[in-house]
């Protein structure tokens, strides 16, 4: 079944290529795009089930044994991430059939989206750093074009900031990879896990760890490298913002998880202590930035940053192993890593959904400014409740998915006596709830702007009626993602068990090494 590893990369590439031949047939493009995403979803489900049942899968492309060939590897973390990418892509593509205008479709929106998914899945599945760089560049190029489709001034301005910082990140990544190859003679991650400690150059290893922390930290939007994100994510159409918000920063988080549990574990007192500190700053700056915003998607953009801090928290808790490597400590650290995986799954679903909700709001009322919105609960109570599900989950209200994700992180932090980061996590949760209630009060609970004396910014009734056409196709994915959020919350036990097994694999890199390169481990 190792051939399954190639399908999440090949399928989006073939679908994108096929859609290029359908450029003048938008309906056919939409149909192929949806079917392609459903195919990717089915492949991702099969891959996760296979990895869960059989263990880590690896394949060496071209018949060259690792570390000389190109390795594709799927442990539970990679398989979970591919499934989340496919779920998110399916929801966004269905939503896009109504929300994306004909001009953007004509300029390649659907093929670009599949190329983006190809890059994302490739980044999750690759087993060497050079191909991780290649897949990063694939998703960077496609995401830049998606961000600028339409050519509006705000889009171009945001895209320039986005691509500039990400190009700096790529340059750092490539420089770090070059130095790492010079030190070890390999870029295969399983091989690096063996050869970097054996190189006997701890200071060089620490320098490389900082280079990769900077490179991946920019892509993950951690403190203080996050300012490109709120400047760009609110400028594109909601469907594009949703795919960026839920997925692209998680590729950076995934890369951090991969290299700082597999490659850079030689001095965790330094590296992971720094990561834990950055996690706290990322939480605080993100949520404070959200608290002062007055535009729907800008609030959501800053909350992406604060939630990245929670994901880094589970990784940073590994610092305790530097001075207490006992069975109880390792169990708590495993819990923290498992909670991080659970948190990523929860956040991808929830954040995607919130951006899709913002797109419906902007479509109906023509703006995302909170002071110009209102009346949704009175006119659309079901849609309003669909917003509450991801909003309350983001804030960590039980029994939704966000509650269990935060509870597991807090429990791991308490067991490891990291009370400072636990206090920050709890305080940020309260401030997140404040931001979500601010959106609720302004957008859903406040009176309809049409009933206010000054309502010039409100679209005319005829225009509003035209915008309601096909609205069910946009609300359908929102309802589906809300249902998944509820399912994750109500079935948290078995889902968290899978996440915990992923944490076990991350804390025991020999499992990964044995699957990729058994000769090295002998």
DSSP alpha helices (H): ranges in 397-509?
401-415, 419-439, 461-467, 471-490, 492-507
List, run by run, the mean pLDDT of 10-residue segments along the chain (522 residues): 87 91 84 94 95 91 77 94 94 90 84 94 94 92 84 72 85 94 92 88 92 93 83 80 86 94 92 95 93 89 92 94 90 95 94 92 85 85 92 91 93 95 94 92 82 50 57 89 93 92 94 77 42
For 23, the enclosing helix (H) or strand (E) is none
Q: Is residue 520 part of a domain?
A: no
Quote the CA–CA distance of 288 and 31 in Å, as a whole number.
42
Q: Is residue 53 part of a domain?
A: yes
For 200, the enclosing helix (H) or strand (E) is none
Tokens for 6?
Answer: 């190639």
Q: Is residue 280 part of a domain?
A: yes
Quote the CA–CA distance of 226 and 482 in Å, as a whole number.
28
Of 337, 333, 274, nearest in space to 311 by CA: 337
* 447 CB-near residues (< 8 Å, 6+ apart): 374, 375, 378
Quote the CA–CA distance of 377 and 387 in Å, as a whole number.
10
pLDDT number for residue 451: 63
Q: Is residue 481 part of a domain?
A: yes
Number of structural domains the chain divides into:
1
Q: Report the residue count for the chain.
A: 522
pLDDT number for residue 520: 44
* 175 CB-near residues (< 8 Å, 6+ apart): 211
Write down the residue that tokens 């005319």 correspond to. 460
Q: Is residue 134 part of a domain?
A: yes
pLDDT number for residue 378: 85
CA distances (Å), 237 to each of 156, 240, 374, 427, 446, in order?
13, 6, 21, 32, 25
Structural domain containing residue 54: 2-515
Of 202, 337, 334, 198, nearest in space to 267 by CA: 202
* 85 CB-near residues (< 8 Å, 6+ apart): 44, 117, 120, 121, 124, 247
Q: Is residue 521 part of a domain?
A: no
* 501 CB-near residues (< 8 Å, 6+ apart): 52, 76, 338
Q: Which residues of 453-488 are buried (b: 16+ CB within 10 A; e: fewer)?
A: eeeeebbeeeeeeebeeebeebbebbbbbbebbeeb
Q: Is residue 70 part of a domain?
A: yes
Q: Is residue 522 part of a domain?
A: no
- Residue 74: strand pairing partners: 57
- Residue 71: strand pairing partners: 60
CA distances (Å), 85 to each of 12, 168, 371, 459, in order?
12, 25, 34, 35
pLDDT number for residue 454: 47
Q: Is 0.85 surpassed by the pTM of this model?
A: yes
């Amino acid at each position: 079944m190792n051939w399954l590893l190639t399908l999440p990369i090949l399928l989006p590439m073939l679908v994108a290529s096929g859609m290029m031949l359908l450029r003048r047939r938008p309906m056919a493009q939409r149909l192929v795009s949806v079917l392609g995403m459903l195919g990717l979803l089915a492949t991702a489900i099969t891959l996760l089930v296979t990895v869960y049942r059989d263990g880590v899968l690896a394949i060496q492309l071209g018949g060259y044994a690792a570390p000389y060939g190109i390795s594709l590897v799927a442990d539970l973390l990679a398989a979970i991430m591919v499934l989340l990418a496919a779920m998110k892509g399916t929801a966004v593509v269905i939503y896009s059939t109504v929300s994306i205008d004909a001009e953007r479709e004509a300029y390649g929106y659907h093929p670009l989206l599949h190329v983006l998914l190809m890059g994302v899945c490739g980044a999750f599945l690759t087993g060497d750093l050079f191909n991780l760089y290649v897949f990063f560049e694939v998703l960077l190029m496609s995401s830049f074009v998606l961000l600028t489709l339409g050519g509006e001034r705000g889009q171009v301005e945001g895209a320039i900031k986005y691509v500039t910082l990400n190009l700096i990140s790529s340059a750092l990544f490539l420089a770090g990879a070059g130095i790492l190859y010079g030190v070890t003679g390999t870029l295969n991650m399983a091989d690096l896990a063996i050869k970097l400690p054996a190189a006997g150059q701890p200071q060089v290893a620490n320098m490389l760890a900082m280079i990769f922390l900077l490179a991946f930290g920019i892509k993950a939007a951690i403190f203080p490298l996050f300012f490109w994100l709120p400047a760009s994510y609110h400028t594109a159409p909601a469907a594009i913002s949703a795919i960026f918000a839920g997925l692209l920063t998680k590729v950076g988080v995934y890369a951090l998880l991969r290299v700082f549990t597999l490659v850079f574990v030689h001095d965790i007192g330094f590296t992971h202590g720094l990561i834990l500190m950055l996690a706290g700053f990322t939480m605080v700056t993100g949520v404070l930035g959200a608290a002062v915003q007055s535009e729907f998607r800008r609030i959501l953009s800053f909350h992406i940053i604060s939630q990245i801090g929670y994901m880094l928290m589970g990784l940073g808790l590994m610092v305790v192993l530097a001075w207490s490597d006992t069975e109880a400590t390792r169990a708590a650290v495993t819990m923290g890593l498992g909670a991080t995986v659970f948190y990523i799954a929860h956040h991808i679903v929830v954040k995607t959904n919130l951006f899709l909700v913002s797109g419906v709001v902007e479509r109906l009322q023509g703006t995302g400014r909170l002071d110009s919105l209102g009346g949704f609960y009175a006119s659309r109570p079901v849609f309003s409740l669909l917003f509450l599900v991801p909003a309350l989950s983001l804030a960590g209200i039980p029994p939704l998915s966000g509650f269990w994700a935060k509870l597991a992180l807090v429990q791991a932090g308490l067991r490891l006596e990291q009370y400072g980061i636990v206090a920050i996590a709890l305080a940020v949760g309260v401030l997140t709830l404040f931001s979500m209630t601010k959106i609720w009060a302004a957008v859903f609970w406040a009176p309809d702007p049409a009933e206010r004396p000054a309502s010039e910014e409100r679209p005319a009734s005829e225009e509003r009626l035209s915008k309601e056409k096909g609205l069910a196709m946009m609300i359908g994915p929102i309802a589906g993602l809300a249902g998944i959020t509820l399912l994750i919350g109500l079935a948290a036990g078995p889902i968290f068990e899978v996440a915990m097994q992923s944490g076990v694999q991350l804390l025991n890199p020999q499992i990964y090494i044995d699957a990729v390169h058994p000769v090295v481990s002998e």
